[in-house]
C-alpha cells in the first residue's frame, strides 16, 4: 500500500513533499509511531530522486517530526501531537440531537479485558470455558469452503438460506415456535433485531409499551428513535395488561424469563396479552433471550407458539448460548411486517457477515448446538444451585431470591435496609462484581436488590465470591 502523496508538475518538488508530509503529521493522518517508506521506495513511487526524499526526511527529523532508527527505518515521532483545531459538537447545527445521543447511559456494557474483576456476577455473559472450540473451528473451515463457491456478490439481507432453515428447525424443536425458513431474518444479535423492528414501527411521538422493570437497552433504543415510552409495571405473573395504553404501536416483553426479575409470564397473562394486542392493533416483540436453559417444572411455550393471528415478532439470539462476540441473532416475524423489516435490514447493513452464518448453519445442522446447550445446562444448573443454597443459608438475613425456572441469572431482593449502591462500590474494592437492580426501573418503585449472573463466573469461584459478599454485608451491618 502506497503512502498518499500527490506531486504536481516538476517545480519545487522537495517543498511539495515536505509540506504534505508535515501537514499529514500535524493533522494526525500519519499517527505517532507510523513507519514511513524507505527513501528509495518512496522516490520510485513518486518519480522523484532519492536525494530529494532523503533531504526531506532529514529536514523533518531535524524539526522533531520524524525519528530515524538505525536498522529499522524512519518513523513519525511519538512526541508529536495533532495540532489541528477540531470542530466541537456544540458548533454544529445538529448539536441538540448529538447531545441527546451523547447523554444516553450505557447499561449492561461489558468491561474491557483489562478491567475484568476477579469474581464477576455480570449478566449476559456466557461460560467461555465450555465453548466448543474444535467444533466451531471445523464449522468455520466449512464456511470458508462454502464462500469460495460464491461469485463475490453481496448476499441476501434475510440471511443465508441454510442458516434460516436451521434456525427455523431449532426454534420449533427447542421453543415450539411455529415458523418456516421464510419467516426468519438473520441479524447481528438480538439488539439489531429490536432496532430493525422498531425502525419500521416507530414514528416520532408514537407510543410503545415496555416492562418496568425491564431490559434497559431496549427502552433506551425505542426512546432514541423518538417513541413515547409507556412503562408498564410487572407483578408475579408478568406484565400487567390493564396498564397498557390503547394507542401503543408495539409491546416489548420477556415472557419466559422476565428481565431482570426472572419471573415467567403465566399462561392466563400470555393469552390476555395476545388478546390485547389483537384488539388494539399492536405488535408484540417477544425477546426469548436465554430460555433454552430451564431447571425446574415443565417447559413453557413461547408466546409466539400461542399466537393465532400473526401479532408476535419472536426474537432469539446465539449470544446467550454460545458467545456474545459472535453477534448472531434472529427474528421470526409475522407476515404483516416481514417485508418492511427486511428492507430496513438492507438499508442498515445490507446483510450479516456470511462467514459466521455458514458456520452456524453447519453447527446447528450437525447437532453441535443442542449438544453444547445440554452441556452448559448442567454447568449452569450447578452454579444456580450453589448460589441459591448460599442465599437460603448464610446470606438469608440480607436477601431472598425471586423464584425463576430458566436463564442464567437470578434476582436477589433485599430483606433489610442494605445500601445497594454502597454494597456494589465496596465489592469492587475487593475484586467482586455486583450489579444493582435499580437501573432496570423507570417509573415503578424500585425494589432494592442485585441481579446475579452466573454465566461467566466459574463454579469453584462462587463460594469464595459469596464469602466476600457476606463479609461486606456483615461489616455494613
| Residues 316, 321, 324: CA angle, nearest 5 degrees | 85
Mean pLDDT of 398-411: 93
| Residue 187 grid coordinates | 441479524
Among the ranges given (6-20, 173-187, 345-359, 457-471), the one the predictor scored with the smallest mean pLDDT: 6-20
pLDDT of 128: 82
Fold of 132-366: 3.40.640
242-249 average pLDDT score = 97
pLDDT at residue 325 greater than cutoff 70: yes
Please report how the helices 368-391 and 161-175 are oriented relative to each other, as an axis angle in degrees rounded to 10. 40
- Report whether pLDDT(197) > 80: yes
Bigger pLDDT: 174 vs 282: 282
Give the pLDDT score at 194: 98
Residues 6+ apart with CB under 8 A from 35: 72, 73, 74, 75
Average pLDDT over residues 368-379: 93
**CA angle, 171 then 273 then 400, to 5°:** 80
Segments of 55-183 assigned E as strands: 66-69, 73-76, 119-120
Q: What is the rounded average pLDDT for all residues in the chain?
A: 92
Q: Is the pLDDT of residue 314 over 90?
A: yes
Nearest to 456 by CA among 116, 105, 42, 11: 116
User: Which range has the worst mean pLDDT, 75-79, 198-202, 285-289?
Assistant: 75-79
β-pairing, 248-253 vs 207-212, is: parallel
Q: Specify the pLDDT at position 241.
A: 97
Per-residue pLDDT band at 248 (split at 50, 70, 90)? very high
Domain 113-126+371-476 fold = 3.90.1150
What is the percent of the chain where pLDDT is above 70? 97
Q: Any idea of the CA torsion for 337, 315, 245, 223, to the nearest 10 degrees?
A: -90
Global pTM reads 0.85
pLDDT at 453: 95
CB 121 within 8 A of CB 433: yes
Provide mean pLDDT across the span 409-415.
96
Q: Per-residue pLDDT for 322 more than 60?
A: yes
Q: What integer pLDDT is reported at residue 80 of this predicted model?
A: 52
Q: Tell me the per-residue pLDDT of 81-97, one tens digit each, with 9 for 90 and over.
A: 555 566 677 788 898 88
Residue-wise over 353-392: b if at least 16 C-beta within 10 A, else e?
ebebbbbbbbbbbeebbeebbeebeebbbebbebbbebbe
Domain boundaries, the chain: 13-76, 113-126+371-476, 132-366
CATH top class, domain 13-76: mainly alpha
pLDDT in the model for residue 86: 66
Q: What is the pLDDT of residues 427-441, one digit of tens each?
A: 999 999 999 999 999
**Alpha helical stretches, state H, 239-302:** 267-280
Helix/strand/coil for 374? helix
Band of the pLDDT at 1, cuts 50, 70, 90? low
Confidence of residue 287 (pLDDT cuts 50, 70, 90): very high
Amino acid at each position: 500500500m502506497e503512502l498518499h502523496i500527490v506531486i504536481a508538475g516538476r517545480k519545487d518538488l522537495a517543498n511539495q513533499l515536505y509540506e504534505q508530509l508535515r501537514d499529514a503529521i500535524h493533522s494526525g493522518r500519519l499517527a505517532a509511531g507510523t513507519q514511513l517508506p524507505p527513501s528509495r521506495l518512496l522516490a520510485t513511487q513518486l518519480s522523484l530522486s532519492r536525494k530529494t526524499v532523503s533531504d526531506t526526511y532529514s529536514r523533518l527529523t531535524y524539526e522533531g517530526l520524524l525519528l530515524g532508527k538505525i536498522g529499522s527505518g524512519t518513523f513519525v515521532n511519538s512526541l508529536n501531537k495533532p495540532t489541528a483545531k477540531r470542530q466541537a459538537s456544540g458548533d454544529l447545527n445538529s448539536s441538540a440531537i448529538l447531545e441527546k445521543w451523547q447523554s444516553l447511559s450505557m447499561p449492561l456494557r461489558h468491561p474491557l479485558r483489562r478491567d475484568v474483576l476477579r469474581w464477576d456476577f455480570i449478566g449476559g455473559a456466557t461460560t467461555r470455558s465450555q465453548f466448543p472450540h474444535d467444533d466451531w473451528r471445523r464449522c468455520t473451515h466449512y464456511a470458508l469452503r462454502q464462500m469460495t463457491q460464491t461469485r463475490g456478490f453481496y448476499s441476501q439481507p434475510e440471511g443465508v438460506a441454510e442458516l434460516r432453515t436451521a434456525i427455523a428447525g431449532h426454534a420449533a424443536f427447542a421453543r415450539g415456535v411455529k415458523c418456516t425458513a421464510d419467516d426468519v431474518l438473520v441479524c447481528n444479535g438480538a439488539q439489531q433485531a429490536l432496532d430493525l423492528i422498531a425502525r419500521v414501527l416507530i414514528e416520532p411521538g408514537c407510543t410503545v409499551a415496555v416492562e418496568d422493570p425491564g431490559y434497559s437497552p431496549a427502552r433506551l433504543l425505542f426512546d432514541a428513535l423518538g417513541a413515547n415510552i409507556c412503562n408498564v409495571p410487572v407483578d408475579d405473573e408478568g406484565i400487567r395488561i390493564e396498564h397498557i395504553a390503547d394507542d401503543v404501536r408495539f409491546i416489548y416483553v420477556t415472557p419466559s424469563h422476565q428481565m431482570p426479575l426472572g419471573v415467567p409470564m403465566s399462561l392466563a397473562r400470555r393469552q390476555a396479552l395476545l388478546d390485547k394486542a389483537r384488539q388494539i392493533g399492536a405488535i408484540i416483540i417477544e425477546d426469548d433471550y436465554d430460555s433454552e436453559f430451564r431447571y425446574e417444572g415443565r417447559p413453557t411455550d413461547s408466546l409466539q407458539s400461542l399466537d393465532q393471528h400473526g401479532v408476535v415478532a419472536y426474537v432469539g439470539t446465539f449470544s446467550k448460548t454460545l458467545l456474545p462476540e459472535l453477534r448472531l441473532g434472529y427474528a421470526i416475524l409475522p407476515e404483516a411486517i416481514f417485508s418492511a423489516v427486511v428492507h430496513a435490514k438492507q438499508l442498515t447493513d445490507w446483510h450479516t457477515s456470511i462467514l459466521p452464518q455458514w458456520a452456524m448453519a453447519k453447527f446447528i445442522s450437525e447437532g453441535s448446538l443442542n449438544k453444547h446447550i445440554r452441556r452448559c445446562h448442567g454447568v449452569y444448573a450447578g452454579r444456580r444451585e450453589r448460589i441459591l443454597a448460599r442465599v437460603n443459608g448464610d446470606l438469608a438475613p440480607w436477601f431472598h431470591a425471586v423464584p425463576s425456572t430458566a436463564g442464567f441469572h437470578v434476582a436477589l431482593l433485599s430483606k433489610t435496609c442494605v445500601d445497594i449502591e454502597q454494597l456494589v462500590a465496596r465489592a469492587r474494592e475487593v475484586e467482586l462484581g455486583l450489579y444493582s437492580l435499580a437501573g432496570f426501573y423507570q417509573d415503578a418503585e424500585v425494589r432494592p436488590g442485585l441481579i446475579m449472573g452466573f454465566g461467566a463466573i466459574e463454579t469453584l469461584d462462587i463460594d469464595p465470591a459469596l464469602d466476600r459478599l457476606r463479609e461486606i454485608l456483615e461489616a455494613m451491618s
